[in-house]
Chain A
């Protein structure tokens, strides 16, 4: 089984809808992250969490929120989706030195 899982893998939604992307990890790491990838723009950090009680904004947190339900679970929400949030979203977990282990990604399309 994969160490980091993301659900759903693909999602098509309409403008204004609330969307939740879920992430689970079995690596036992405290640190978890959400990234967004757009063509030609690399990886941009949305939110990160270094433990269950710690939530930090990344460089592009506007329009997103997160919830760290447990050490193993970190979900990302789009409260009111807009078309420019169409992207590939990655969840990751890391050890204390920062080695990132990524989930398979969620391809989100907002119409």
Chain B
């Protein structure tokens, strides 16, 4: 069975602080894909990143970075120097090829000015 756990339900940080959102996944498949999505208060769901199981390189995009570690089955997301516009619910997700996507429960991030 596949599962995605986001243990942090809600996080509050003060603007300019760094924050890491945790994601732990479970799968028996050797080929799989991991994703992060953002849902701002306006409600739309925005794709942020995809990683496949054969690529453990960390990814950096501006203030966003992702740390994929197969040894701990984790795919964590760090926002550096957080801004109010980063306030949103963030979802981690998992899929194996030719299967539906499993979403985690989401982490609600509040960045306080």
Interface residues of A (CB under 8 A from B): 33, 41-43, 45, 48, 50, 56, 58, 88, 90, 92, 94, 96-102, 104-105
Q: Are B43 and A97 within 8 A (Cβ)? A: no
Interface of chain B residues 41 through 94 with chain A (CB within 8 A):
43-47, 50, 52, 91, 93
Interface residues of B (CB under 8 A from A): 33, 35, 37, 43-47, 50, 52, 91, 93, 95, 97-101, 103-106
Q: Are A97 and B95 within 8 A (Cβ)? A: yes
Which of A42, A98, A105 interacts with B35 by CB under 8 Å?
A: A98
Which of B47, B97, B99 interacts with A100 by CB under 8 Å?
A: B47
Q: What residue of chain A has the Cβ atom nearest to residue B39's Cβ?
A: A37
Q: Are A94 and B45 within 8 A (Cβ)? A: no
Chain A facing B: main interface SS: strand
CA distance A79 to B101 in the complex (A): 26
